[in-house]
Amino acid sequence: MTGAIAAVAMLCFFLAAPARAEEVRAGDLVITQAWSRATPGGAKIGGGYLTIENKGSTPDRLIGGSADVAGKIEVHEMTMNDGVMTMRPLDKGLSIEPGKTVKLAPGGYHLMMFDLKGPLKQGEKLPVTLQFEKAGKVQVSFDVAGVGAQAPGHDAGGHMDMKEMPDHSGMKM
């Protein structure tokens, strides 16, 4: 009986894992975990996060992007110096060196979406066109997480969004 309980517990653990965002390939680049946070009504800016892996032998550079929902998208960097948070645009873009992975996440590199035409709503898919120096324009779909989410597939409290839980109502135990 104890083995059956352990098996059910393991099954529940794996089924509760966050949904994995789509993988997009553009030349030697592999883009995963594209996500954004929901924004309150009236907000004019939003953030975008993703992971870019360069599987090639030459560097590429993320230089910006575009989306129907935003007036413009820029690549930004957030840093903390002596307790002061600063954010600045990366005018020359963000280099993705060969064999390296770059993660855009809250508190570091990120995409800034300016002049939002409407709120980003939790659970929606946000189509974004990324602009790379060599790979060119790349279509990516961002998963919109909760307002304070810190990772894709999670709500503001760091928990998985219940809407993403698979329905197991017919599951026999």
Q: Give residue 151's pLDDT.
A: 81
Query: Per-block average pLDDT, block size 10, for the chain (173 residues)?
Result: 43 38 90 96 95 98 97 95 92 97 96 97 97 97 92 55 39 39
Q: Give residue 129's pLDDT.
A: 98
- What one-character-per-residue DSSP string does the chain give? -HHHHHHHHHHHHHHTSPPPPP-EEETTEEEEEEEEE---TT--EEEEEEEEEE-SSS-EEEEEEEETTEEEEEEEEEEEETTEEEEEE-TT-EEE-TT-EEEE-TTSEEEEEES-SS---TT-EEEEEEEETTTEEEEEEEEEE-TT-SSTTB-TTSSBPGGGSPP-TT---
